[in-house]
């Protein structure tokens, strides 16, 4: 019986690990860009619910076993005076087993509470990203925006030519309009942290900026300033410039260089969305 309990506990630990992997996949819901990724998230959520139901059944089974053992122990105690020393020791072992099972069942119930909370959070994120996908679809279809997921983060890419004139960091009129449409949608997530990253191709810059690094940083600051005016909390914003050193394509054709000239608005995940990270033991 104790062996079955241990195996049940191991299955619950495995369930927790599977759920954590599913949670890491949830932020990968492709907002109108990758339908396959979105379907995968829905499948992970469905599996999470199935596993949660199974875990609840395990706890109910353990509770039933404990109740039966407690009844048996109560009856056994009534016969203690009639028992031999060997029988008394046997009864004591039963009591110890009940105590062990009670402790394990309590741990399982605690894990179930965590699973329920994680499941609720997963549902909320899926709903939010589904709504965001729908609202951004029009901008994606017109080429004003690209939505990607990289390193577990949702990345909104705005082509530089939509926002800025060549070698400039001041927003053009069409750029102000396109950025305004994006920020209006992102205000729903304004309590989240964002990093705005500027990127260029490898063609040397001409004009007031010393190099592409300075240009990309200035462009990121321009977008951050616009976000603050739109109502975003400055404490939740980061401006970064990568220059030509984080390309998404080789700078060997005109089209590839165009892809590398971009502004990225990156949604930084909450710590609650990440797995618990423990320092390696020495």
Cβ-contact 101, 4 below 8 angstroms: no
Where a domain ends, among 76, 101, 133?
Answer: 133
| Exposure b/e, 113-125, CB count within 10 A at least 16 = b | eebeebbeebeeb
Q: How far apart are CA 74 and CA 263, in angstroms?
A: 72
Q: Are residues 109 and 33 in the same domain?
A: yes
Q: Provide the domain count of the chain.
A: 2
Position 16 in a domain: yes
3-state secondary structure of 197: strand
36 is in which domain, residue-wise?
A: 2-133
Position 124 in a domain: yes
Return the structure tokens found at 267. 């949604």
26-56 tens-digit pLDDT: 444 444 446 666 676 777 777 777 877 777 7
**Angle value at C-alpha 223, between 274 and 207, nearest 5 degrees:** 130
Q: Are residues 254 and 152 in the same domain?
A: yes
Position 43 in a domain: yes
93-151 tens-digit pLDDT: 777 777 777 788 788 888 888 888 878 876 776 676 677 777 778 778 877 788 887 77
Instruction: With 0.75 as the threshold, say if the pTM is over it.
Output: no
| Exposure b/e, 32-58, CB count within 10 A at least 16 = b | bbbeeebebbeebbeebeebbeebeeb
CATH of the domain at 43: 1.20.58
């Amino acid at each position: 019986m104790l062996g079955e309990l241990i195996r049940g506990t191991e299955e619950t630990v495995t369930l927790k690990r599977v759920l954590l992997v599913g949670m890491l996949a949830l932020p990968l819901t492709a907002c109108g860009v990758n339908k396959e990724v979105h379907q995968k998230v829905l499948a992970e959520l469905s599996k999470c619910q199935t596993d949660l139901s199974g875990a609840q059944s395990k706890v109910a089974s353990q509770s039933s076993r404990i109740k039966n053992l407690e009844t048996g122990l109560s009856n056994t105690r009534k016969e203690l005076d009639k028992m031999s020393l060997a029988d008394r020791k046997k009864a004591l072992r039963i009591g110890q087993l009940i105590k062990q099972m009670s402790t394990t069942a309590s741990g399982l119930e605690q894990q179930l509470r965590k699973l329920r909370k994680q499941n609720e959070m997963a549902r909320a994120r899926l709903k939010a990203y589904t709504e965001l996908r729908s609202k951004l679809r029009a901008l994606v279809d017109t080429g004003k925006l690209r939505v990607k997921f990289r390193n577990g983060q949702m990345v909104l890419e705005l082509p530089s030519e939509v926002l800025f004139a060549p070698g400039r960091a001041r927003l053009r009129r069409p750029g102000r309009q396109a950025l305004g449409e994006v920020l209006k949608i992102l205000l729903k997530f304004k309590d989240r942290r964002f990093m705005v990253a500027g990127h260029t191709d490898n063609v040397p810059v001409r004009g007031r900026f010393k190099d592409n690094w300075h240009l990309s940083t200035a462009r990121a600051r321009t977008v951050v300033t616009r976000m603050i005016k739109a109502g975003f909390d400055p404490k939740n914003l980061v401006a970064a410039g990568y220059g030509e050193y984080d390309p998404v394509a080789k700078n060997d054709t005109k089209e590839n260089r165009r892809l590398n000239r971009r502004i990225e608005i990156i949604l930084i995940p909450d710590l609650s969305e990440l797995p618990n990270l423990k320092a390696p033991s020495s």
